[in-house]
Structures are given as C-alpha cells and as structure tokens.
Amino acid sequence: MRAARTRSQDRILNLLKNVKQGISAQDIYVELRNRNQSMGLATVYRSLEALKLEGMVQVRTLANGEALYSLTQQDKHHLTCLQCGASIPINQCPVHDLETQLQSTHKFKIFYHTLEFFGLCSQCHLASRTAVGE
C-alpha cells in the first residue's frame, strides 16, 4: 500500500495532466509559481522522485542531459536529433514482447520503458553534408 500523496505531488500531477509533452523540473517550478502554487525547487525534485518510484511519472533524458518529466504512458519512443534537438515520436514498439518476457522471467514490475535513437534529422544531416562539401 502506498503512502498518501503530498499536496506538492498532487499539484505536480495536476500540472502534468495538462502538459502535452515532457517538461523539465525547472519549468514545472516556474509554471507552479505562475499558478500561485509556489513550492521550492528542491520540493519539486523530491516530489518528482517520489512519483517516479510510484510509477506515476516517467523521466526521459535528452542528449544534452536535460530530464523531461511526464505522466507515465505506454511505449514512448523517439528519434532525437543531436544537432537541433528535434524529437520525432515513433509509434511502433519493437521491444514490447521483451518487456512482457522480462517482467515474467525476473518477477520485475515494469512501469514503463523508453527507446531512443540519436542521430541527425534530415535538415541537420543535409546541412552538415553541405558544410563539408559532400
């Protein structure tokens, strides 16, 4: 049985329900201040960590090291450009069967998984080829 959620955790969950994409802890902090629901940045991080351990929130780390938080969703996969940071969602999941197998074999409760491919989008790839004179 899980402990009751704190008011801070509830505020963050409500904010994440209205956000269409991942958001950084810093941006959560700013958005809560804008909504007159101010809390310290350390509280934001602690609340996100507790929600993550509960399986309610997932974190996605971008190539630049920035962590983006969102409500836990099934099968979120992306192609991420290392140059411009564009992130293209992929709708198919090549590892869904593996997740089911691992959960069963290892008696491990999986909340979510991510799959990221890093490289250059078509525009950045074309720009880099042009710059080198290919």
* Residues 6-61 pLDDT 10s: 999 999 999 999 987 889 999 999 999 999 998 999 999 999 999 999 989 999 88
Q: Is the pLDDT of residue 133 over 80?
A: no
Across 60-79, average pLDDT: 84
Across 2-8, average pLDDT: 82
Q: Is the pLDDT of residue 1 over 60?
A: no
What does the alpha-carbon distance between residue 111 and residue 107 come to, in Å, rounded to a whole number? 13
Task: Give pLDDT, residue 60.
Answer: 87
Location of structure tokens 């074999």: 105
Burial class of 102 by CB neighbour count within 10 A (0 to 12, 13 to 18, 19+):
middle
∠ CA 98-101-105 to the nearest 5 degrees? 135
What does the alpha-carbon distance between residue 114 and residue 111 come to, in Å, rounded to a whole number? 11
What does the alpha-carbon distance between residue 112 and residue 114 come to, in Å, rounded to a whole number? 7
Q: What domains lie within the chain, and their CATH numbers?
A: 1-73 (1.10.10.10), 74-134 (3.30.1490.190)
Cβ(90)–Cβ(115) below 8 Å: yes
Task: Give pLDDT, residue 115.
Answer: 83
Query: 75 — alpha (psi -120 to 50), left (phi > 0) or beta?
Result: left
